[in-house]
Each structure stands twice: as structure tokens, then as C-alpha cells.
Amino acid sequence: MDVLLNNLDLFGPFFLTTIELFAIAAVGSLVFGTILAMLRVSPVPVFRAIGTTYVTIVRNTPLTLVFAFFVFAYPLLDIVKISYFTAAVVSLTVYTSAFICEVVRSGINTVPVGQAEAGRALGLNFGQILGQVVLPQALRSVVPPLISTLIALLKNSTIAGGFSVAEAGAIRSYISERGDNQMVALLWVALGFIILVAVLSFVQRNLEKRWSVAR
């Protein structure tokens, strides 16, 4: 307990940064990933090609390289200056969106074709069918893999600690400078992540219960 109590000025703010990093990147990934999924199932070949190319490239690129690009290479382009925190958010969003896309796309594929045909019979266009008929049903069927992807995002956020972002992944190095037990510090960090993952798992169970009834 001494390691935790003596370093609350680290654990509190750093875990808060982790939560902020996760929350912003999660929202961005869900929105961008859903858009990518819509591109991948689009009847327009060019849109499908764009979605497929993005997912193929990003899913096969290590997250550390994505971070390295936005932290070190992007500033050289001299477009818009961004902070290390913003670079971390963008990196996590760009990377996780590819996985969210595949999860959502798999959900779209579980919706019976007759649902889309019924929408067309009512005069709905592709966007309306996808947004009002298909996606609401698709998202209900992919809650477990969607939450699992977000849990992976939460854990991946620790990489930001290696790129000058003061979040939970960087606590160990600060503890080392203070001369406290690093192993004990890592155990407290692990416990913190276990609690955060438990919260996400609780959300998953509640969504599954609610949407299973709604279906």
C-alpha cells in the first residue's frame, strides 16, 4: 500500500489521462469504424476498394509504427501542430477503427437479406436502409466482439506512455526515478486495468440483456 499511497499524485492523474485517452479514441473508432464498414458493404466498387485497402494496410501495421508516424513523422509535414496526447488519440483511433470496421461488417452480414429488400420495397435508398434497418440490428449482434475490441483499445493505450504521454503505462518509469518498488507499482497498475476492464464487461452484459429482449 505504501507504493500506492506515496504516489497517488501519479496514479490518479495518469489513470485519468488513460481514461480520457480511451474514451475519446473509443468514440472516434466507433464512428470511423462504422463508416469504414459502410464503405466495405457499399454497392459502389470504388468505396469498397477504399474500405478494403484501409483495413488491410492498418490491420497489418504494428500499432507502435502508427504511433511513431503521428508523433515523429507527421510533425515534419508541417500541416497542423498537435500535442503528444492528440497524436496518441489519432493513432489509437486510426488503428482500432480497422478492427471495429470488421466487427460491424460481420454484424451487417448476419442481418437477413430480406430486411434490405423490404427497405428497398418501401422506397428507401442505400443509406437509409443501412442506417435505419440494417445497422441497428447488426450492432445488437456484435456487442461481445465490439466490447472485446474496446478492451484491446484500453490496453493498447499503454503504448502512449512510451511516446511522452503521461498515462498509466508511464507510471513505472516515474516510480523508478523516485526509487520505489517498480514491481509493486506494476501490480497496482495491473489492478487498475482489471477494474476498468471489469466496468467494460459489466456494460457488455447489460447491453446483451437489454438488446436480447429488444430483439
Whole-prediction pTM = 0.87
pLDDT digits (tens, 9 = 90+) for 109-118: 888 777 777 7
Domains of the chain plus CATH, in order, are 16-167 (1.10.3720.10)
Residues 40-56: tens digit of each pLDDT: 888 889 999 999 999 99
Burial, 148: exposed, middle or buried (Cβ in 10 Å; 0-12, 13-18, 19+)? middle
Closest by CA to 4, choosing from 167, 169, 181, is: 181
**Which residues touch 12 (CB under 8 Å, ≥6 apart)?**
none
Running DSSP on this structure, what letter comes out for residue 7? T
Contacts of 189 (CB under 8 A, 6+ apart): 11, 168, 169, 171, 172
- Tell me the per-residue pLDDT of 143-202, one tens digit each, with 9 for 90 and over: 889 999 999 999 999 898 888 788 888 887 878 777 777 788 888 888 889 999 999 999
List Cβ neighbours of 193 (8 Å cut-off, separation of 6 or more).
154, 155, 168
